[in-house]
Amino acid sequence: MRTLKNVNVGETVSVAKLSGTGAVKRRIMDMGITKGTKIYVRKLAPLGDPVEVTVRGYELSIRKADAEMIEVE
């Protein structure tokens, strides 16, 4: 399955599954990223980490390690 880490800039995707566990998964969910949520990838930092996305109307920066735990479709 494709993860948020592999999404290109300018794409809008939908969250299919969160694969993290414990505190990491809870932190991602607290940011508003839950199953079915639409995520728009706005830009990528010059060195590739973090990724800036728009979730539920606000901008959010996510590390690549965390983005890899978010499966999208």
Summarised one tens digit per residue, pLDDT across range 9-26 is 999 999 999 987 888 889
- Residue 21: predicted pLDDT: 82
Which residue in the block uniquely carries the two structure tokens 């606000």?
Answer: 58
Distance CA 59, CA 39 (A): 10
pTM: 0.87
Q: Which residue has the higher pLDDT, 21 or 3?
A: 3
Considering only residues 1 and 53, tell me which one the structure prediction assigns the higher pLDDT. Answer: 53
> Is the pLDDT assigned to residue 27 strictly greater than 80?
yes
pLDDT in tens, 39-68: 999 999 888 789 999 999 999 999 999 999
